[in-house]
Amino acid sequence: MISSPTAHVATSEMANPLETLGLVIIGRNEGERLARCLESVSGIPNRVYVDSGSTDGSVILARQNGAIVVELSMPPQFTAARARNAGIARLLAANPDLEFVQVVDGDCELHAGWIPSAVSALKAEPDLALVYGLRRERYPERSIYNALCEVEWNSPVGESPGCGGDVLFRVAALHQVDFYNPAMIAGEDTELSMRLRKKGWRLRRIDAEMTLHDADITRFGQWWRRIRRSGHAFGEMAFLHPDAREPNWRQKVRSIFAWGGIMPGMLLLVLLLALIINPLWWIGVVLLLVPWPLRMMQLATRERRRGLSAKLARASGILMMVGKLPQFLGLVGFHFDRLSGRASRLIEYKHRGTA
């Protein structure tokens, strides 16, 4: 059974790590999730909450919990990257000598033992730009989408090509790469990781519990929007870092383009030919459909070998292939915005509370 983090981070256990550390929480209408997040970090004195236009009382809640609050306005548009930059800037303005900064999303709770473990890891290896640990899902049993998020978070321990939204940074490394790219609507963590690695920094996933996350994805439409956002991120990463080898973003984009664009396009064309011109074209329809279940079974078998249950492995194989369609839409959306000179708009998928 997965145990919850303790109610707050005990200051007495972390006296030394806290002297040179600050924390940034970002959120927008996270409601009860934010309340749990704030409680989990109440023992960290240097903490900032950055709000992106909440209407559910999040700002008041953060102030009541003793956090410094930064309220972003529009324009420019809200992005997680912009919010994190604003929070880090506020921390460093008040505490310019901070060595480390923990960033955490407002739908997460910080594990009580995380900060000491993370700071120790950074101090032990001066060329580490960041460390992150295990992020778990609070309610994996509520939907197959939540359960697959739990699988997604469980990346291998050791040196890593990228990080997620919850991470402990070395401030000197952030300064060297000029922090997050505030214009990115998705994939900003991975893009920052790429720039850090190009500067010679290393990234590490350590064997420690870090955060408890509440994805709250219970509907297919939410999952579809989340995957469409990932397609946008893949497209932007391939555009910004075309020379990358790990991960190979161009290869990922080619896969999305083939399975999410070319194959469905050919299937639609052949289906129209079968309906309008000659029934023999139905043979082509069948031939174009066959690769999909075969690839789904192949992916499900791979996930089963990784240790997933039969149910999760099957769902993973199916959704990874179905997901090529929204990823293609996200990919096309990125390039359309880029070529037309428009700023990409946020793609949100969470349940959002309102006042």
- The total number of structural domains that make up the chain: 2
Q: Are 182 and 85 in contact (CB under 8 A)?
A: yes
Is 331 within the bounds of a domain? Answer: yes
Predicted local distance difference test score (pLDDT) of residue 352? 55
Q: Kindly state whether residues 151 and 250 are assigned to the same domain.
A: no
Structure confidence by residue, pLDDT tens digits, 15-48: 456 778 999 999 999 999 999 999 999 999 999 9
Is 157 within the bounds of a domain? Answer: yes
Q: Kindly state whether residues 193 and 248 are assigned to the same domain.
A: no
Q: Kindly state whether residues 190 and 282 are assigned to the same domain.
A: no
Of 187, 212, 237, which marks where a domain is finished? 212
Predicted local distance difference test score (pLDDT) of residue 246? 83
Q: Kindly state whether residues 240 and 108 are assigned to the same domain.
A: no
Range of the domain at 31: 11-212
Is the C-alpha dihedral spanning 290, 291, 297, 300 positive or negative? negative
Is 6 within the bounds of a domain? Answer: no
Predicted local distance difference test score (pLDDT) of residue 247? 85
Predicted local distance difference test score (pLDDT) of residue 64? 95
List, in order, residues 6 or more apart from 50 with CB less than 8 Å away: 24, 25, 26, 27, 69, 70, 71, 72, 83, 84, 86, 87, 90
Is 5 within the bounds of a domain? Answer: no
Structure confidence by residue, pLDDT tens digits, 124-162: 999 999 999 999 999 999 999 999 999 999 999 999 999
Of 212, 241, 268, which marks where a domain is finished? 212
Q: Kindly state whether residues 95 and 135 are assigned to the same domain.
A: yes
Q: Kindly state whether residues 226 and 336 are assigned to the same domain.
A: yes
| Both tokens assigned to 288 | 């174009």
Q: Kindly state whether residues 118 and 19 are assigned to the same domain.
A: yes
Structure confidence by residue, pLDDT tens digits, 164-185: 999 999 999 999 999 999 999 9
Q: Kindly state whether residues 154 and 16 are assigned to the same domain.
A: yes
Is 4 within the bounds of a domain? Answer: no
Q: Kindly state whether residues 265 and 231 are assigned to the same domain.
A: yes
Helix-helix angle 144-153:310-322, to 10 degrees: 90
Of 192, 212, 232, which marks where a domain is finished? 212
- What's the CATH code of the domain at 85? 3.90.550.10
Predicted local distance difference test score (pLDDT) of residue 11? 41
Is 168 within the bounds of a domain? Answer: yes
Position 229 pLDDT exceeds 70: yes
Structure confidence by residue, pLDDT tens digits, 260-305: 999 999 999 999 999 999 999 999 999 999 999 999 999 999 999 9
* pTM tops 0.95: no
User: What is the average pLDDT value for the chain, to the nearest integer?
Assistant: 92
Q: Kindly state whether residues 171 and 311 are assigned to the same domain.
A: no
Is 1 within the bounds of a domain? Answer: no
Give the residue among 108, 111, 92, 105 at the shortest CA–CA distance from 52.
105
- Between β-strands 128-137 and 202-213, what pairing exists: parallel, antiparallel or unpaired? parallel
Q: Kindly state whether residues 19 and 165 are assigned to the same domain.
A: yes
- Measuring CA to CA, how many Å separate 13 from each of 6, 8, 21, 115, 330? 13, 11, 14, 10, 45
Report residue 90's pLDDT band, with 50, 70 and 90 as the boundaries. very high
Is 2 within the bounds of a domain? Answer: no
Predicted local distance difference test score (pLDDT) of residue 18? 77
Give the residue among 73, 82, 340, 313 at the shortest CA–CA distance from 192.
82
Q: Kindly state whether residues 224 and 186 are assigned to the same domain.
A: no
